[in-house]
Each structure stands twice: as C-alpha cells, then as structure tokens.
Amino acid sequence: MKDDSIRLECEESISEYKQDMRESWPCQPIFDESTVVFGVDTLEYLMNRERTYAPDPYYMGIQSNIDPIKRVFLFDWISNVCIDLHLSRETYYLTMNYIDRYLSKIANIKLFDL
C-alpha cells in the first residue's frame, strides 16, 4: 500500500515534468521514458532513502545544551556566511539538513562543537 502511493507519487512527478517540458519548449518534442532524467524506480528509491535519512523532527528533546533559540542563531550565522561568500541557497539548505541530521543522531552536543 505504502509502495503503491510512492510509485503513484513518482509517476505523477514524471507526468508533471513532461507536461512542463511540453509547455516550455517552443517545439513539441516527443517524450518517451528515455527523455526523463530519472525513471520511476530511481525516484522511488531516492524518495525511500530520503525518508530513511530524514532528521528526527523531535531531536531537540535529546539536546540539553542546544535549544531552539540557539539553533536559530546558528542558522542565522550560517545564512550570513552563505551571503558573504555568495553561496547558493541550496548550499544553505543542505547545511541546515546536515546539521539537523547530525543533531538528531548525537545526544548532548556542545554548542561550540558545531
């Protein structure tokens, strides 16, 4: 049941991608499975991996030295560094994800260890 919903979600994403490509290109290309960047199986695999490695949304419960306010200050500082170094938004979002995943796995990390 869960796998069917993932497969359906992947197929819908591919259909939306194909429709977007049809609307944005000046000519009407012929689409087949070879023109899709990722196949349904690959998207399904990646979506399952994303769920497996997603950070725990309740990780603040295991952190005694870091509270939500300190996390906000940390990400604000990282945002300023990204702006100063002209890094992309993706770099910022990936950094946030890495830190959240790290904090959800390691308990009682000290603020200065980040």
* pLDDT tens-digit series, residues 66-83: 888 888 898 999 999 999
Same domain, 72 and 92: yes
From 17-26, 60-69, 102-111, the region with the lowest mean pLDDT: 17-26
**Cβ neighbours of residue 35 under 8 Å, at least 6 residues apart?**
18, 21, 29
CA angle in degrees (0–180, nearest 5) for 105-108-113: 90
User: Quick one: 40 and 81 in the same domain?
Assistant: no
Lowest mean pLDDT among 13-17, 33-37, 58-62, 71-75: 33-37
What integer pLDDT is reported at residue 86 of this predicted model?
A: 92
Percentage above 90 pLDDT, the chain? 14
User: Are both 42 and 83 inside the same structural domain?
Assistant: no
DSSP per residue over the chain, as a string? -HHHHHHHHHHHHHHHHHHHHHHHSSS-PPP-GGGSSS-HHHHHHHHHHHHHTPPPTTGGGG-SS--HHHHHHHHHHHHHHHHHTT--HHHHHHHHHHHHHHHHHSSS--GGG-
Q: How many domains does the chain have?
A: 2
Query: Looking at residue 92, what is its pLDDT?
Result: 92
Averaged pLDDT for residues 53-69:
82
If asked whether residues 71 and 104 sit together in one domain, one would say yes
User: Which residue, of 19, 34, 52, is where some domain finishes?
Assistant: 52
Q: Which residue has the tokens 């609307």?
A: 23
Based on the fold, state whether residues 77 and 34 are members of the same structural domain: no
Residues 34 and 75 in one domain: no
Tens digits of residue pLDDT in 6-28: 777 767 777 776 666 556 555 55
* Residues of the domain holding 29: 2-52
| Token pair belonging to 52 | 């497996």
Together in a domain, 36 and 82: no
45 with 76, same domain: the answer is no
In a shared domain, residues 68 and 107: yes
